[in-house]
Structure 1
């Protein structure tokens, strides 16, 4: 164990996925229920890794600040997006540091981004709806040399599923299902 990472277990998981690629497919889901105003309660659904089902009993609140019609009872959707990307980069950094034998004392990832609300509010045709971009900075306290840390950081970013989803995008599909309660 290094940095709380079971590197032998990681090697075993890699070997198992090489032998049976379907064992490496992870499926996720969340259900979101409107509470009031801009407040939403999100709940993690059962996760699957290969054929194994993993119960995920977590809920969290999403909300906007009063300036955006909310009550600040939780982070905004954009803050959750940035935390998902940043946490995924951090996991990759910690795991890759452990694989390379680098003991970490602390790591912080700081994310930033901006959004033109005129796009969301459909006020101008030139206003972008998506965020203008995301930035991240990794601050690591450890005794590794600069080249090793740069390699760990590059690998953490380039193999981060969430970062690569944000960078390259994925199709988002869906629709409406109307429910009548009477």
Structure 2
């Protein structure tokens, strides 16, 4: 079945897959694409919330993201290359009648308070454990 995965988050079910070149069937976004989606959607939400809180008119917001990944790190071809993104670039487009100075202030507030941006910019302690057992028991 390739490398596809079904993820449950609260009451939601999300499919994850890889393109054929990485052993998948290309039936869903891959994990790093979900990271970009998480950042983009979190930025949009945070812009909307803080624009409203600061009284800055905002008719729309769109975030376009690209991530650069060197698969030599993922496949351990070159151990000094990290497995994840080497960089992420974002373009935020704000549909607003506010002066540029207000939008720059809004950007500073959003960049300081966007949770996903914080996760990506600052090391977050992660503890992964391993347990051998039945998958049906693990689902309980």
Which blocks of at least 5 consecutive residues in structure 1 are unaligned?
Answer: 1-35, 45-55
Larger radius of gyration: 1
| 1:63 and 2:11 matched | no
Q: What's the TM-score once normalised by structure 2's chain length?
A: 0.89
Shift of 1:156: 0.8
Q: Name 1:39's counterpart in structure 2.
A: 4
Shift of 1:125: 2.3
Q: What's the TM-score once normalised by structure 1's chain length?
A: 0.70
Q: Name 1:156's counterpart in structure 2.
A: 110
Q: Where in structure 2 are the equivalents of 1:11-26 lying within 5 Å?
A: none
Deviations 1:110-167, CA, capped at 9 Å, x for gaps: 1111111111111112222221021211101111110101111121111111101100
Shift of 1:180: 4.3
Deviations 1:56-92, CA, capped at 9 Å, x for gaps: 3111101111122111111110110111122112211
* Whole-Å separation in 1 of the counterparts to 2:8 and 2:80: 35
Q: Name 2:138's counterpart in structure 1.
A: none
Q: Name 1:90's counterpart in structure 2.
A: 44
* Whole-Å separation in 2 of the counterparts to 1:168 and 1:157: 12
* Whole-Å separation in 1 of the counterparts to 2:54 and 2:134: 57
Alignment check: 8 A CA contact 1:120 1:129 kept: yes
Aligned residues: 135
Which blocks of at least 5 consecutive residues in structure 2 are unaligned?
Answer: 136-140
Moved over 3 A (4+): none
